[in-house]
């Protein structure tokens, strides 16, 4: 039944819903609709129905979550939806996971990131050579070399997911995708993060819909508009993992 749930769309705007197994209440990130998920007793199929909660209120709850006021968000939604606290907590936890996960962790490295990793590698090689060849004879120099190696290794480990993504996406060709919907999900300093719903055009000419997260400088967000075309990459068999570039906006 998991596939049935994942394929549900918002009854208000048609966007895909982020529903987990066992959830009875969810929301549409794009139009702020609050939605109840029900299961037909005979067929076992799931359906979605709109709950009459003002989208303005859902937007207020979203802002509370983004500002770290999760308890207040739970209380506000519990009262608005007239549900018990446990249901409200499930709803808010689902909300939190959607607007915070996979923002930049799985993105390939930028050119600067690749250069940084290359410099880390040079540091490790140089320090290792100094230790093995005996160039680092004094104890202080040996300690410094080991410190360089240790911290370079820790830094590289923290970048492991972007490094793997860089290797996986590098041979893939860019293709075009049209922005269908988008919504702000987070802001940090001068950066804004959006979840976007795309209509992706395959090399064969066929199209499919997919969601991804994009990051932009806040000063450039006016360029992000429905109907505009951006470049994307995706992995064969993993069309839900879309890499989007906003350089041509």
Residue of 146, 140, 151 lying closest to 127 (CA atoms):
146
- pTM of structure: 0.69
Question: What pLDDT is attached to residue 2?
Answer: 35
Rounded Cα gap, residues 15 and 110, in angstroms? 30
User: Is CATH 2.40.50 what the domain over 173-245 is classified as, yes or no?
Assistant: yes
Give the three-class secondary structure for 85. Answer: helix
Section 8-18 average pLDDT: 82
Express each pLDDT in 86-145 by its tens digit.
Answer: 878 877 877 776 665 544 546 778 888 899 999 999 999 999 999 999 888 899 999 999
Question: What pLDDT is attached to residue 111?
Answer: 85
Ramachandran quadrant class, 82 (left: phi over 0; alpha: psi -120 to 50; beta: rest): left
């Amino acid at each position: 039944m998991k596939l049935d749930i994942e394929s549900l769309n918002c009854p208000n705007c048609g966007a895909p819903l982020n529903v987990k197994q066992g959830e009875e209440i969810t929301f549409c990130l794009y139009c702020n609709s609050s939605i109840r998920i029900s299961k037909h007793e005979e067929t076992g199929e799931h359906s979605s129905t709109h709950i009459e909660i003002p989208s303005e209120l859902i937007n207020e709850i979203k802002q509370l979550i983004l500002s770290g006021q999760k308890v207040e968000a739970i209380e506000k939604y519990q009262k608005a939806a007239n549900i018990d606290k446990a249901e409200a907590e499930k709803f808010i936890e689902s909300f939190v996971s959607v607007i915070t996960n996979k923002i930049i962790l799985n993105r390939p490295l930028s050119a600067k990131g690749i250069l940084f990793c290359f410099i880390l590698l040079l540091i490790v090689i140089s320090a290792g050579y100094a230790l093995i060849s005996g160039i680092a004879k004094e104890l202080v120099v040996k300690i410094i070399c080991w410190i360089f190696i240790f911290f370079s290794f820790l830094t590289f480990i923290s970048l492991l997911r972007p490094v793997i993504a860089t290797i996986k996406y590098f041979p893939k060709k860019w293709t075009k995708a049209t922005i269908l919907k988008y919504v702000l999900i987070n802001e940090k300093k001068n950066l804004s993060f959006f979840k976007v719903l795309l209509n992706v055009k395959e090399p064969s000419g066929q199209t499919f819909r997919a969601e991804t997260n994009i990051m932009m400088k806040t000063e450039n967000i006016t360029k992000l508009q429905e109907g505009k075309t951006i470049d994307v990459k995706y992995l064969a068999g993993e069309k839900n993992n879309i890499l989007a570039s906003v350089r041509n906006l």
